[in-house]
Structure 1
Amino acid sequence: MPDKFVKRWGEGYNKTPLTTKIKEAVRPQGPLKPRLDFAIRRIDMQVQKLDKASDRFSDRDKSIFKRVVDAYTKHDTARANVFASELAEIRKMEKMIMHARLALEQIVLRLRTVSELGDIVTTLAPAVGVLRSIQTGMANIFPEAEKEFGQIGNMLSGIIVDAGQTTGLNLDFEATNEDAQKILSEAATVAEQKIKEKFPELPAGIPAIGEKAPTEIG
């Protein structure tokens, strides 16, 4: 590993005040590893926030599901269908949150590997692509999270640029996009399965989650 890269990887981080790190969040300067560690901590914080949001949606899901069953037991199909539609929206958001969380977990695992191997460009580029996708998905659910993901993505992009200049490595955009899509696809598959395992199915006669309720003909 070139001496120049080693120097850029870990030198002098403790001398930088926290306020300076925050101000440089969009285009931070200085050694690469500490900046990467800072990005990992910020992603971990977002994962914790997603966990709390998931818990809130789970509580809401249980409440609405109980109302669906209660209405169905009383043969109030119209009311049951209304609650079922609301439940469908809740579970849709829950799946998006779970998808984002699983994808972020994969990113953090990769970024921590970078801390050990120094494999900057090829690992961070797909991570940025995943973050951009999550940022878009979170726009309507958590606007504040959307902004944070954008800032973290900018941080990682800055690290990629600096690492590329230092090491002379070129970015394979096609491979990067494929890798990002693979992470998102795997996370989506796992999220779908976890949602099915986590939430009970509706009683027979009530439209399945995501299906349109039938229109009654008088």
Structure 2
Amino acid sequence: MSERFAKRWESRRDDQPFTDRIKDAVKPPGPLKPRLDFAVRRIELQVQKLDQATDRFSQRDKAIFARIVDAYTKHDTARANVFANELAEVRKMERLIINARLALEQIVLRLRTVSELGDVVSTLGPAVGVLRTVRNGLVSVFPEAENELGEIGNMLSGIMIEAGQGSGMTLNFDAVNEDASKILAEAATVAEQKIKDKFPDLPPGMPSVPTAQTEKTSESY
């Protein structure tokens, strides 16, 4: 820890009871923590908004699904195909939103476990990377989140830089990118499973709704 940060901590200890000093040795106070807590609350607010968006898409999903079944029972294959394609787009957006929500939730959990300056640097690096990826993925689906996530990312970057200066730690960018990729991959896997569990497949004989796997396969050709 730099001399500047050390003086900041030590200047508080003279007036503190011994028990408080012990607590501070484990979790030192400072101006970074309120800002970090504020950033976490802003992320949690975005999670709530994504939950609301998921509910809206779920209602739309059910309505379109019912139309597909209705068209198919009337032997109107053309309309059933149109609705099936529409449902595929809706579920694609649902998957993106659920994926983003899960990734942000992981970031919140990690940020809430930060207790030392070194933890701040190593935790915020992947967090900022995940926020940028989530922000880019939501641009077309949930544009109102773009600016807010951008501001949160900038705030966390500032905290990370200050914490790095105070602790003397430098970022290992390879490790940061790998950690961020793991968070995003895990969120994507869970999101896909949630989609499968939450929404029914069309009965045999009806137009199929592409999954994330079939979308990736088609994009590779």
Q: Sort the TM-score into its range (normalised by shorter chain).
A: 0.7 to 0.9
Query: TM-score, normalised on structure 1?
Result: 0.83
Could you say if the C-alpha distance between residues 3 and 112 of structure 1 is closer, same or farther in structure 2, counting changes exceeding 3 Å? farther
* Corresponding residue number in structure 2 for 1:25: none
Which residue matches 2:181? 181
Relative to the length of structure 2, the TM-score reads 0.82
SS in 2 for 1:119: helix
What's the counterpart of residue 23 of structure 1?
A: none
Q: Report the CA distance between 1:118 and its aligned residue.
A: 5.9
* TM-aligned CA distance change 1:8 to 1:67, over 3 Å: farther
Aligned to 2:27: none
Q: How many residues align?
A: 194
Secondary structure of 1:114's partner? Answer: coil
The letter for the 1-side match of 2:192 is E
- State the Cα deviation string for residues 140-189 of structure 1 (Å, max 9, x = none): 11222011111100000000110111111010000000000000000000
Taking the TM superposition and a 5 Å limit, the aligned residue runs for 1:49-64 are: 49-64=49-64
| Moved >3 Å (runs of 4+) | 1-9, 115-118
Q: Using the alignment, how far apart are the partners of 2:8 and 2:69 within structure 1?
A: 60
Secondary structure of 2:207 counterpart: coil
8 Å Cα contact 1:71/1:77 also seen in 2:
yes
Identity of aligned residues (%): 72
Partner of 1:39: 39
The residue correspondences of 1:112-123 to structure 2 (distance < 5 A) are 112-115=112-115, 119-123=119-123
The question of whether the paired residues in 1 share the 8 Å contact of 2:126 and 2:177 is answered with yes
Give distance in 1, aligned partners of 2:154 and 2:87. Answer: 36
1:134 is aligned to 2:134: yes
What is the identity, as a one-letter code, of the residue corresponding to 1:121?
A: V
Cα distance per residue 1:10-51 (max 9 Å; x no partner) = x9xxxxxxxxxxxxxxxxxx8110000000000000000000
The question of whether the paired residues in 2 share the 8 Å contact of 1:7 and 1:31 is answered with no
Name the amino acid aligned to 1:128. Answer: V
**Secondary structure at 1:142 match in 2:** coil
Once residues 115 and 151 of structure 2 are traced to their aligned partners in structure 1, the CA distance between those partners, rounded to angstroms, is 20
Is 2:147 the partner of 1:144? no
